Amino acid sequence: MASIADEPGKASAARERYWGSAANQRNIRRRHWADRRLQLYGIAAIGIAIVLLGVLVVSLVATGHTAFVQTEIRFEVTVAESDIDVADPFKGNYRKVVRDGFARLVDRELSRPEEKALFEMLSAGAQYILRDHVVDDPDLIGRTFEVALPLADPMDQFHKGEIPRDIPQEQRRVSDLQIQFYDQFLAEGRIAAPFNWGLFFNADSRFPELAGLAGALVGSFYALLICFLISFPVGIAAAIYLEEFAPKNRWSDLIEININNLAAVPSVVFGLLGLAVFIQFFGLPRSAPLVGGMVLSLMTLPTIIIATRAALKAVPPSIRQAALGIGASKHQVVMHHVLPLAMPGILTGTIIGLAQALGETAPLLLIGMNAFITSVPGGITEAATALPTQIFIWADSPERGFVARTSAAILVLIGFLVLMNAIAVFLRQRFERRW
Amino acid sequence: MFGTVLLAIAALSLIGFWMARSRMRVGALAAGRTAAGVAALHSLPAYHGAYVALWTGLPSAFLVLFWLFLQGSVIDSLLLASLPEAFLTDKSDAERSLVLSEIKSVADGLLFGTPAPEIVEAAERYNTWRSLASWAMFAVGAAMALGGLALASRRLSPEFRARLRVERILSGLMIGCSVLAIVTTAGIVLSLLFEAAQFFDKVPASEFFFGLNWEPQIAIRADQVAGQGAFGAVPVFTGTILVAAIAMLVATPIGIFAAIYLAEYCPSRLRAVIKPMLEILAGIPTVVYGFFAVLTVAPALRQFGGWVGVDVAPNSALAAGAVMGIMIIPFISSLSDDALAAVPRALRDGSYGLGATKGETITKVLLPAALPGIVGGVLLAVSRAIGETMIVVMAAGLIAKLTANPLDSVTTVTVQIVTLLIGDTEFDNPKTLAAFALGLVLFVSTLLINIVALRIVRKYREKYD
């Protein structure tokens, strides 16, 4: 190109020739192709990300949807007074009651192994369900009535088509004999798969067909309640101080740097803090939603403080000046005018912070909220699990039925997260003012 | 009991508020017409009420909280002291705490076998002391509240500057709340340092930082079968770096190209759809990613490996790292997006004016100008990857192996922290303390990366604003 610029006349002529030349056309095509290529890379990158998101959602729904129904079988049981103590229906040989009733479904004499195979079709927890029935309604004693009891996990999986029929018997957990029984019961219309309310109202259990999320939901609720009660007032107070009152000096800088750093500390470190300080030093109970909520509140605090400061900053100075102008004190300006105007933004930030806390797992594992607990916690100091730690426990369980339960629990967790974020978005769109 | 005490204190505060406010109102009425009477007060009646309520509620609530924190450990030490001398000789701290928990379960009416008579006696003492302590807490809390109420009400007068006092108390509370951030950081640093120092008393620091053998599963109780124990953390560190590197290899190109497309090429309507979808990836809890890795990604990789003829471990670093990469994509893309958007318009226009295509403008002008911001974002993502816990706990291995093979199974710092602390923990055992030493390393390294990243980002911003 240097030679082109030597003389003005010659240069323009050369340029003309160059623009039209095949070499230049090639060059332009190459440059446009490079531009197109960059664009394609971008589309590919976004495509990969969205496809991965899709695969994640599809694989969870595909494995999880079966856990929302539970296979049950209806048959008649006779609760004889010889088996059950009328005065104390809690004690009694319910195992025998259930088995007698179930065995009557097959109208032939069974050998011992056949009997065993038959009884293994029924959930091991069936007798306790019947017991709770009878305890609730003692009039049932001495009567024959129909009950619907859950089938054991392998039969449940079989009914849902997760275990194929046409593979050799040794390779599946359902024997040919059990399939024969199953076909008979199905033909008699005894087997049905209604909506699995137990998933929401049962506590955890060793048997997948009985395990539910009630304990985890209540535990998560308590932990989030504690987290909210601590982090919401403290976060707002800290943000108001830093945004409206703090003098610009070393101290306030130090606090700001601290808050920003806390937001980036790995969550597992907060678990270590909770274990060493709350449990080891202060002697608070292990596995309790109280400690879980306290740890989560420390993690949520930076989110709430940062969101609150942004909301306070968005209130225009004219409002403050007007209030100051008619004689309000600085506190009155903030409490009567700035804070109410900033509230929608603060609430949005708080809900988003709580949604993050709801999905947080690692710190809860360290303070022991992954215990195996078969009852719903009655208070904030009782041992409990939380939704994400329950997912972790089930994901670790070897039984096939827990795979579906885990995916279902994840779908429930994501459902709550979507709900909370939807509320946050609604609040933002409905109430946030733009000046 | 605790709830009752707090309710009682809240009720007393409310009563104090109503009393003080109505007293000042009545006083104002007595002084003449209402408006003039109120004008004669220094502060509005509600501020007098708030003043009394704060003095009634705050000191007593703090006292009760303080009491609650101390009650457990005080009763524990009293219980131990009350046991016969002979019962506790030659018992370690761990056995003493076992005795304590036995006393407590007996006191709650849970009997396992037949407890020793000393224990039954101690359980009775425990129950008496416990009810005594909670009644004492109630009495002291209520007395403190009443005292605050009485003292504060005595100060009320038309000239009393109640508003200033109330505002000063509120300012103090707000300062206290903002100092909590510093207290938390200090708590993290001190607890990690304290436990890590105990660890380095038992295991030399040189072994921890340079040893090549990591077998921390040693016995916590005498009757457990376990290994000898080795605390050389180098394979744990290399495993962490390997998994994080895989994650960054997945996330960086996807994140940056996605950001380029979103910032420069994408029509704004499409952008409004795609951006929230990418942000969903950041909002999914990590335990979900962990399960996804175990359920879908790891088996798929294994199958692919078998197809190609390579042996892939069931919990390969590749599966954990790749899934972690998916999680990190939105961090990198949104931070790079911000960095690209922050490049001044003039640079862009200048490049177009010289005849550059869009692609040339991006690669030759925008990216170099935005590079510090992008690097800062990538560094923040690295610290995120190192500190990420659940994905690796579920998808990576437990055994520390010194390898750079992504198809092999490795373990990470966070996995070791979690596995060391799940189950039995004993704060005088190197196994438990090792988790805190690892936690200290994790905290310091992520903090350093974050500081460097923020420095880079800030320095770059100053150049253009």
* DSSP class per residue in B64-118: HHHHHHHHHHHHHHHHHHHS-HHHHTT--HHHHHHHHHHHHHHHTT---S---HH
Whichever domain contains A267, its CATH number is 1.10.3720.10
3-state secondary structure of A122: strand
pLDDT mean over B184-211 = 91
Question: What residues does A92 pair with on adjacent strands?
Answer: A84
In the predicted structure, residue A223 carries a pLDDT above the cut 70: yes
Would residue A411 count as lying in a domain?
yes
Token code pair at residue A263? 């937001």
Per the prediction, chain B carries an average pLDDT of 86
DSSP conformation letters of B382-407:
HHHHHH--HHHHHHS-SS------TT
Q: What is the pLDDT of residue A329?
A: 92
- φ, ψ dihedrals at A173, nearest 5°: -90, 10
Number of domains in chain A: 3
**Do B253 and A45 count as a contact with CB atoms less than 8 A apart?**
yes
pLDDT band at A432 (very low <50, low <70, confident <90, very high): confident
Question: For the segment A63-114, what is each residue's pLDDT rounded down to a tens digit?
Answer: 899 889 999 999 888 888 887 777 777 777 888 888 888 888 888 888 888 8
pLDDT mean over B65-69 = 83
Q: Which of A25-29, A370-374, B398-402 has the highest mean pLDDT?
A: A25-29
In the predicted structure, residue A19 carries a pLDDT above the cut 80: no
Token code pair at residue A426? 């609604």
Q: Are strands B230-231 and B214-215 parallel, antiparallel or unpaired?
A: antiparallel
- Do A266 and A341 belong to one domain? yes
In the predicted structure, residue B403 carries a pLDDT above the cut 60: yes
Q: What is each CA distance from B266 to A39, B92, B271, in whole angstroms? A: 9, 68, 6
Give the residue, A372 or B27, on which the prediction is more confident: A372
Task: Specify the range with the lowest mean pLDDT, choosing from A327-331, A423-427, B91-95, B153-157.
Answer: B91-95
Token code pair at residue A353? 């912070």
In the predicted structure, residue A4 carries a pLDDT above the cut 50: no
Token code pair at residue B74? 């005080």
Among A29, A49, A66, the domain-final residue is A66
pLDDT mean over B326-345 = 91
**Which candidate from A31, A37, A268 shows the least CB-CB separation from B414?**
A268
Percent of chain A whose predicted confidence (pLDDT) is above 90: 46
- Do A328 and A240 belong to one domain? yes
Task: Specify the range with the lowest mean pLDDT, choosing from A244-253, A321-330, A416-425.
Answer: A244-253
pLDDT band at B397 (very low <50, low <70, confident <90, very high): confident
- Do A236 and A366 belong to one domain? yes
- Do A54 and A185 belong to one domain? no
For residue A305, what is the nearest residue in chain B, using CA coordinates?
A: B178
For residue A298, what is the nearest residue in chain B, using CA coordinates?
A: B184
What's the rounded Cα separation, in Å, for the pair A20 and A26?
11
In the predicted structure, residue B228 carries a pLDDT above the cut 70: no
- Do A242 and A333 belong to one domain? yes
Among A26, A43, A66, the domain-final residue is A66
Amino acid at A151: L
Q: Which residues contact B451 (CB under 8 A, 6 or more apart)?
A: none
pLDDT band at B227 (very low <50, low <70, confident <90, very high): low
In the predicted structure, residue A330 carries a pLDDT above the cut 90: yes
Q: Is the complex ipTM more than 0.85?
A: yes
DSSP character at residue A378: -
3-state secondary structure of B298: helix
- Do A234 and A342 belong to one domain? yes
pLDDT band at A1 (very low <50, low <70, confident <90, very high): very low
pLDDT band at B111 (very low <50, low <70, confident <90, very high): low
Q: Which residues contact B375 (CB under 8 A, 6 or more apart)?
A: B453, B456
Question: For the segment B30-48, what is each residue's pLDDT rounded down to a tens digit?
Answer: 665 556 566 677 888 889 9
Q: What is the pLDDT of residue B181?
A: 84
Question: For the segment B377-386, what is each residue's pLDDT rounded down to a tens digit?
Answer: 999 999 999 9
pLDDT mean over A286-302 = 93
3-state secondary structure of B442: helix
**Which candidate from A49, A59, A298 shows the least CB-CB separation from B258?**
A49
pLDDT mean over B176-203 = 91
Give the angle subtended at the CA of B325 by the CAs of B321 and B326, to the nearest 5°. 125
Give the residue, B108 or B53, on which the prediction is more confident: B53
Question: For the segment B429-464, what is each residue's pLDDT rounded down to a tens digit?
Answer: 888 889 999 999 999 999 999 989 888 877 776 666
Q: Which domain holds residue A36?
A: 8-66
Would residue A360 count as lying in a domain?
yes
Question: What residues does A195 pair with on adjacent strands?
Answer: A69
Give the residue, A36 or B125, on which the prediction is more confident: A36
- Do A77 and A44 belong to one domain? no
Tell the burial category of B34 from Cβ atoms under 10 Å away from its Cβ (0-12, 13-18, 19+): exposed
In the predicted structure, residue A169 carries a pLDDT above the cut 90: no
CA torsion A208-B398-B253-B371 (nearest 10°) is: 130
Q: What is the pLDDT of residue B222?
A: 56
Would residue A200 count as lying in a domain?
no
Q: Which A residues, 308 through 337, put their C-beta within 8 Å of a C-beta on chain B?
A: 329-331
**Do B178 and A282 count as a contact with CB atoms less than 8 A apart?**
no
Would residue A48 count as lying in a domain?
yes
Q: What is the pLDDT of residue A9?
A: 66
Would residue A314 count as lying in a domain?
yes
Question: For the segment A36-58, what is each residue's pLDDT rounded down to a tens digit?
Answer: 999 999 999 999 999 999 999 99
- Do A57 and A124 belong to one domain? no
Would residue A389 count as lying in a domain?
yes
Token code pair at residue A182? 């199953």
Q: Are B291 and B390 in contact (CB under 8 A)?
A: no
DSSP conformation letters of B402-413:
----TTS----H
How far away is chain A from the Cα of B389, in angstroms, using its nearest Cα?
6
Q: Are A89 and A135 in contact (CB under 8 A)?
A: yes
- Do A220 and A289 belong to one domain? yes
Question: For the segment A266-290, what is each residue's pLDDT rounded down to a tens digit?
Answer: 999 999 999 999 888 887 888 899 9
3-state secondary structure of B456: helix
Q: What is the pLDDT of residue A346?
A: 93
Q: Which A residues, 332 through 391, put their C-beta within 8 Å of a C-beta on chain B?
A: 355, 358-362, 365-366, 370, 388, 391
**Which candidate from A35, A254, A407 shows the least CB-CB separation from B358?**
A35
Q: What is the pLDDT of residue B236?
A: 93
**Do B262 and A42 count as a contact with CB atoms less than 8 A apart?**
yes
Among A151, A168, A195, the domain-final residue is A195
Handedness of CA B115, B116, B120, B123 (dihedral sign): negative
- Do A175 and A228 belong to one domain? no
Q: What is each CA distance from B156 to A298, A331, B21, B149, B171, in whole angstroms? A: 39, 21, 10, 11, 21
Domains of chain B in sequence order: 2-160 (no CATH), 230-464 (1.10.3720.10)
What's the rounded Cα separation, in Å, for the pair B64 and B70?
10
pLDDT band at B93 (very low <50, low <70, confident <90, very high): low
Would residue A114 count as lying in a domain?
yes
A272 touches B: beta carbon within 8 Å: yes
- Do A305 and A324 belong to one domain? yes
Question: For the segment A370-426, what is each residue's pLDDT rounded down to a tens digit?
Answer: 888 888 888 888 889 999 999 999 998 888 789 999 999 999 999 999 999 999 989
Q: Are A305 and A349 in contact (CB under 8 A)?
A: no
- Do A325 and A415 belong to one domain? yes
Q: What is the pLDDT of residue A166?
A: 83
DSSP conformation letters of A39-56:
HHHHHHHHHHHHHHHHHH
Q: Which of A40, A229, A231, A265 to mutate to test the interface with B (most CBs of B within 10 A)?
A: A265
Residue A366's CB: how many other CB atoms inside 10 A?
30
Q: What is the pLDDT of residue B6?
A: 87
Q: Are B243 and B410 in contact (CB under 8 A)?
A: yes
Q: What is each CA distance from A373 to A219, A377, A384, B271, B390, in whole angstroms? A: 11, 9, 7, 46, 21
Q: Which residues contact A415 (CB under 8 A, 6 or more apart)?
A: none
Handedness of CA A190, A195, A196, A201 (dihedral sign): negative
What's the rounded Cα separation, in Å, for the pair B437 and A383?
28
